[in-house]
Amino acid sequence: MSAEQTKPSLTGEEFTASLAEENRVALERLAQLSTAGEPTPDLSIERLLRIALKNELEASEVAAIWMSTTSELDVKLALARQTGDEAKHYRLIADRLKALGVDADRIDPREGGYSPLFEYLRALQSTAARVAAGQFTREGIALVRNQCFIDFCEALGDMETAALYRDVIQPDEMQHHELGRRLLTLYAATENEQQVARQAARRTLELAEEIQEMARLKAGISRAPGC
Ligand SMILES: [Fe+2]
Ligand SMILES: [Fe+2]
């Protein structure tokens, strides 16, 4: 343990519990913002599923980038699983779009560039920051957003899209989030790691909120699913 990595005042478990509480407050706010305002008539499920494709691609790609540069074996394997799961979500959503009459093969979610959240996450180097931001927090955001989207689908009577999210996608996102929680207790064990992890989680939430607000103000988009 180096000089900066002094014995932390919180254990990994205590730190994770405190970060969970901090995130819970921020996520409640994000959920409120996600459902703010009456949906405009042109806010269709198809439109929101297109945004979902972009989020799934970015989640898969970040996990893949990190996998190759993370040395801890359990984290590396967790990232490998996430890479595959998010790619599977992409395919399921593309299939759902096709069933709704959209030519999903012609959609390239990279048009318009990657999001600022993607750029932020991909640059994170420390395992504690990656697990805190990418798995524990981003997947926590996905759970909240997806639930808002499920409610919206049900309100519009699209039970099939709602079921896809509720029964297939959400259990995976929950698994990613819970894996993040477990890995965080292991890899946010020093004062320095805890500081880096908390900062990364906060910045992830800030960026998610900024992107969401921008989409709402510029394009009237709300209730979009996460990843
Ligand atoms: Fe996920
Ligand atoms: Fe996903």
Ligand nearest to the CA of 135: 1
| Per-residue pLDDT, 40 | 87
Percentage of residues of the chain with pLDDT beyond 90? 89
CB atoms within 10 A of CB 96: 20
Average pLDDT over residues 49-58: 97
Distance CA 141, CA 178 (A): 13
Tell me, in angstroms, the distance from the centre of ligand 1 to residue 3's CA: 36
CB atoms within 10 A of CB 225: 29
* DSSP-H helix ranges across 44-190: 45-68, 73-99, 116-123, 127-130, 138-156, 159-163, 170-187
Q: Which two tokens stand for residue 28?
A: 């409640």
Q: Mind listing the pLDDT tens digit for each residue in 132-155?
A: 999 999 999 999 999 999 999 999
Tell me, in angstroms, the distance from the centre of ligand 2 to residue 218's CA: 25
Tell me, in angstroms, the distance from the centre of ligand 2 to residue 46's CA: 17
CB 8 within 8 A of CB 189: yes
The answer to whether residue 3 scores a pLDDT higher than 60 is no
| Per-residue pLDDT, 4 | 53
Q: Mind listing the pLDDT tens digit for each residue in 152-206?
A: 999 999 999 999 999 999 999 999 999 999 999 999 999 999 999 999 999 999 9
Give the mean pLDDT of the chain. 95
Residues ≥6 apart with Cβ < 8 Å to 92: 164, 168, 169
Tell me, in angstroms, the distance from the centre of ligand 1 to residue 7's CA: 32
pLDDT category, 1, cuts 50, 70, 90? Answer: very low
CB 200 within 8 A of CB 28: no
Distance CA 1, CA 167 (A): 44
Helical pair 191-219 and 12-34, crossing angle rounded to 10 deg: 10
Q: Which two tokens stand for residue 198?
A: 């908390």
Q: What is the pTM of this model?
A: 0.94
Distance CA 98, CA 53 (A): 13
Scan for tokens 């599923």, then name that residue: 49
Number of alpha carbons in the 13 Å side-chain half-sphere of residue 10: 19
Query: What is the torsional sign of CA 181, 184, 185, 186?
Result: positive
Ligand nearest to the CA of 169: 2
Q: Mind listing the pLDDT tens digit for each residue in 79-109?
A: 999 999 999 999 999 999 999 999 999 999 9
Measured in whole angstroms, the distance separating CA 130 from the mean position of its chain's CA atoms is 12
| Per-residue pLDDT, 145 | 96
Q: Which two tokens stand for residue 53?
A: 């494709």
pLDDT category, 70, cuts 50, 70, 90? Answer: very high
Tell me, in angstroms, the distance from the centre of ligand 1 to residue 160's CA: 20
Average pLDDT over residues 36-61: 94
User: Running DSSP on this structure, what letter comes out for residue 134?
Assistant: I
